[in-house]
Amino acid sequence: MERSRDGSGEAVEDSHDEGLTVFDEVADVFLANDVTQIIDEPATAHPDGARSLTSRPSTSDRIFRSVAFAAGGITVAIMLAVGLFLAVRAGSALQVSGISFLFEQQWSPETGQFGIAAVLFGTVSIALIAITIALPLSLGTSLLISEVLRGRLKQWAITLVDLMAAVPSVVFGLWGVFFLQENVIPVSQWISTYFSWIPIFAVTNPDGTAASDASAFTSSAFIAGVVVSLMIVPTQTSIMREAFMQAPPGEREAAYALGSTRWGMITAVVLPFGRGGIIGGTMLALGRALGETIAIYMIISPIFYINWEVLKTGSNSISALIALRYGEASEFALSALMAAGLTLFLITLVINFTASTIVARSRSGAQSEA
């Protein structure tokens, strides 16, 4: 670029380089850029000139999607096949018993008098006892791991709790029979002594008097519930811990900045954010407790009537009934057992589906309250 003077003596810039343009205003620069084609649009671009944001899935994405859909479809197909199998095999027994199958307490398929009222009551009572004991243990353990422990101690605690889920049911059953039962009987006697005014905690003899002999407190639904509670603690703890650890750090620090204590921060931030995890974990553990077999089978003394006294000897469950009678069952008795299994399958399926829905719908933020 060179400078020259016009007739008035003012300097004027001349451009001799090709491709170099002199603009009078800044707006001319933007105008020139607007009309300059920077990116060549494909022939399939949108008519208004906007670039298409549609992406083509890669080969690995397509394979992953196919495998994921196949795995989900196979799982659903297996569940439907199990339900269909139980329904078909239980058909002959259900045709004989009808609706009385849900209300009859006795179990005698050979005489045509059979039902699951007693065993279903025992199943639910043991599961509720287990949940009542396991819920505070799981809640406290999950809060300890997520809010108190740090570093290696936290990792060891997580590993230890997760390893509890790998302990076989028969080990818990043996531990309950040979160690826990004799140590729980004094506790059962104390509860019966001071809380016998609550019907479920009373332990009576056949003549109606209060029982005090230790043999009246063995093999009870309470002892079975204690054992099952320790079996479902890892499931509850893992789900609650993951939910609590998702609470946003910003809101934790904001609670501390406002002068909150650690417990105040937990009640104001962590527990509201983990509400879905608490409910979902509890319901999933309830489904696990309903289906427990070996530990309950080894502890309880099977009976076929509704026992409202949970501290007293004698209880039953659907899974224990199937394990007890399957080997010696006739064709029709086997159909009756299949009907009991179908009932337990449907109950567990409903509980697990409800729990999964609650966990999936739990938000990552606390719900605002009016």
- pLDDT for residue 327: 84
Tell me which of 194 and 4 has the higher pLDDT.
Answer: 194
Selected residue with higher pLDDT from 234 and 45 = 234
pLDDT at residue 366 above 60?
A: no
Q: With bands split at pLDDT 50, 70 and 90, how would you rate the model's confidence at 46?
A: low
**DSSP labels, 198-265:** SGGG--B-TTSPBP--GGGGSSBHHHHHHHHHHHHHHHHHHHHHHHHHTS-HHHHHHHHHTT--HHHH
Q: What percent of the chain has pLDDT over 70?
A: 82
Contacts made by residues 61-70, CB under 8 angstroms, sequence distance 24+: none
- Gap between the Cα atoms of 93 and 324, Å rounded: 18
Q: How far apart are CA 71 and CA 75, in angstroms?
A: 6
The pLDDT assigned to 345 comes to 92
Helix, strand or coil, per DSSP, at residue 105: coil
Provide mean pLDDT across the span 58-83.
Answer: 91
The string of pLDDT tens digits covering residues 87-125 is 999 999 999 988 999 999 999 898 888 999 999 999 999
Q: Three-state SS across 151-193?
A: HHHHHHHHHHHHHHCCCCHHHHHHHHHHHHHHHHHHHHHHHHH
Measure the CA–CA gap between 190 and 194, rounded to whole angstroms.
Answer: 6
pLDDT score, position 356: 76
pLDDT in tens, 233-268: 998 999 899 889 888 888 889 998 988 888 999 999
Mean pLDDT, residues 165-184 taken together: 89
- pLDDT value of position 60: 86
Confidence of residue 25 (pLDDT cuts 50, 70, 90): low
pLDDT of 78 over the 90 cut: yes
Residue partners of 298: CB distance under 8 A and separation at least 6 = 170, 173, 174, 176, 177
Does residue 72 have a pLDDT over 50?
yes
Beta-strand ranges (E) seen in the chain are 2-5, 11-14, 107-108, 113-114
Task: State both tokens at 192.
Answer: 């019966």
Is the pLDDT confidence value at 19 over 60?
no
307-310-313 Cα angle (round to 5): 75
| Per-residue pLDDT tens digits for 184-223 | 999 999 999 999 899 899 898 888 788 888 888 998 999 9
Average pLDDT (343-350) is 90
Cα distances (angstroms) measured from residue 85 to each of 90, 100, 120, 349: 8, 22, 21, 15
pLDDT band of 369, cuts 50, 70, 90: very low
**Dist CA 251 CA 268 (whole Å):** 9
Q: What's the pTM value of the predicted model, to 2 decimals?
A: 0.78
Res 81 pLDDT > 90: yes
pLDDT confidence of residue 276: 84
Note the pLDDT tens digit of each residue in 127-163. 999 999 999 999 999 999 998 988 899 999 999 998 8
273-296: pLDDT as tens digits: 888 889 888 988 888 888 888 889
Mean pLDDT of the chain: 83
Going by pLDDT thresholds of 50, 70 and 90, the confidence category of residue 50 is low
334 touches 326 (CB < 8 A): yes
Where does the pLDDT of residue 362 fall: very low under 50, low under 70, confident under 90, or very high at 90 and above? low
How far is it, in rounded angstroms, from Cα 180 to Cα 133?
15
- What type of residue sits at position 155? Q
The band of 336, judged by pLDDT with boundaries at 50, 70 and 90, is: very high
The answer on pLDDT for 24 being more than 60 is: no
